[in-house]
Homo-oligomer: A and B are copies of this chain.
Amino acid sequence: MRFTIDKEQFLKGLLIAGRGISPKNAMPQLLCFKLEMTTIGLEITAFNGDVTVFTRVPLKLNEKEIIRNYSLGSSLINAHFLTEIVRKMEGSELSLDVIDESIAKIDDGNSVFKLPCMNSDEYPDIDLEKTGSTFSIGCTELTKLVEQTAFAALDKDTRPILNAINLKAEGGQFTALATDSARLSRKAVAIDSSIVFNANVSAKTITDIVKLFENNYEVEVCSTGEKMILSFGQTVVSTRLIGGEYPVKNSIIPQNFNYSLQINASQLLNAIDRVSILSSDRAAIVKLSMNSEGIEISSSGDQNGSGSEKLSTIQYQGERLEVAFNALFVSQAVKALGAEDVTLKFVGEMKPFVVLDPKDDSVVELITPMRTR
């Protein structure tokens, strides 16, 4: 295998595929990219046991020659070193030449590197065939769906199914659900397909994957029962599903509320941030005291002291109410909505409450209050 390639496009391909590398993998092959020079482009594959990332650097891009002077073949080359070398080389073009199947020589006319490489027969078989239900969604929409929900998944290993985001298509709706059991995020969007689909995917993995999207890709989503495959542009990503039934249903979200507070999102975030200062924990307990005369937010850091401030609100409807909550949960929910104003709706002091975007009813952030002593 040999090729001369545009440096920027090569680096871009390596950085995409790099999302499929786990740097601490115990299997030496899986620390490598599989590079394969084909008649349509250079194919780069990475696999870490759960996730496969496959991407192609095409021979030409917008009429510009990207790869020239190539001979077909394949090889396994250390992903970290190859990426760093390509990143730091100064030439606009570089050549990669595999010598005796054991050394890859990389040369930009000034710097020359020699990296050991392995025969690609030693790489596991990768199956990216889309055999299951498939539908399309815009990448911006899928990114928002993930970013507004995935943060609510459990980030500890205590209950694997809660590390997942549940993705479900049914009756023309595509719904994402994530919960760590103390809070829950749900977003539902309409899709132009009557497909039925139910997959639990690692929230961390899918959050990584949506970072690869660019331009206005349509993303083709396919679930085969054992894995979910996303195809976009020159890239295909496959991720193993988390087994078991997702333990939370849509119906957990209350529909009727007795109290409603509308407030500017950044004012709320800043106030939570300030009154949380005295907490020794990342998860400060913050209390909202609401009545028709005004809204106060406060926290007590016990022996560290206490803080409070008045909030100017857009609207409050309801009787007097005090609700205490995990500051981090409410901040993350408000940030995920990305709205100028947010609405908090309560059933009662110790019942789960919701954080909503008054202008977008596709997303609900549900949070369980905390007991204060």
Chain A residues with a Cβ under 8 A of chain B: 78, 81, 84-85, 88-90, 103, 110-116, 270-271, 273-275, 277-278, 301, 303-310
Contact = CB atoms under 8 A, between A and B. Distances in A.
> What is the total number of copies of this protein in its complex?
2
Nearest to A306: B114
A309 B274 CA distance: 53
Given A78-B304, A85-B277, A304-B81, A310 B113 contact: no
Contacts of A85: 274, 277, 307
22 contacts: A78-B304, A81-B278, A81-B301, A85-B274, A85-B277, A88-B270, A89-B274, A110-B309, A110-B310, A111-B271, A111-B307, A111-B308, A111-B309, A112-B309, A113-B277, A113-B307, A113-B308, A114-B305, A115-B304, A115-B305, A116-B304, A116-B305
Contact of A307 (B114, B303, B307, B308): B114
Given A113-B277, A113-B308, A116-B305, 9 more contacts: A81-B277, A81-B278, A85-B274, A85-B307, A88-B274, A113-B307, A114-B305, A114-B306, A115-B278
B111 A274 contact: yes
A310 B91 CA distance: 14
B113 A303 contact: no
A308 B114 CA distance: 9
A99 to B, nearest CB: 12
A110 B309 CA distance: 6
A309 B271 CA distance: 56
